[in-house]
Structure 1
């Protein structure tokens, strides 16, 4: 079991390194099998590559499915990414309410970008009831002065 875990960790580490160094074909080859095994860090990166056609042909269905699985597993970056997919209607139907749900999940884990986007959504009444008090509270949590 220990050898299996270390092989898995090595493959994940190598795949993430390839991704970070923009060696997307290599990253896709290393991370795709791990994503299929349900590893959120691999799923998130496969989703980014599939969404943008990096190291593979663009594949909106794979991008959405992998991002959603990683988000449901609790990966904050994937929750943020899925929220943007819903907000922009990329790889899935536009759904501001679902975007708010996933931005909240990522914001609960401290992602400043999610807090800021959520604040803007409350400020504009996009996907939620317009609430300037909540918008200002979220902006403050994100480190901004009151608007």
Structure 2
């Protein structure tokens, strides 16, 4: 059992390295089986590849599927990514209220980018009434 876990870790590390060095075909080959077995890190990267057509044909339904799968596991970058998908209507129906929820979940994990996105939405009143005080607090928390 231990060897299988080590092998999966090695494949995940190799897949992430391939993704980060823009070897997307190799990344897809390494990360797909891991995503299928529940790796949030692999699922997130597959979502990015499908969303942007990196090494694969662009596929919004698959991008959404994998981003949601990773976000359900509370993987911070996926929470942040799903927030943008809902905010922009990219891969998901545009929904500011849902975007706010996902950005808040990512901000709770300390992701500065999510804090800034959340602050901007609160400042502009997207997804609810404008809330300049909360916006200011998130900007400050993000380091601005």
How do 1:1-147 and structure 2 match up within 5 A?
Answer: 1-144=1-144
Q: Once superposed, what is the RMSD of the aligned Cα atoms?
A: 0.6
Distance in 1, matches of 2:28 and 2:129, equals 40
Unaligned ranges ≥5, structure 2: none
Q: TM-score, normalised by structure 1?
A: 0.96
Matched residues, number: 144
- Aligned-residue offset at 1:92: 1.0
Deviation beyond 3 Å, 4+ runs, structure 1: none
TM, length-normalised to structure 2: 0.98
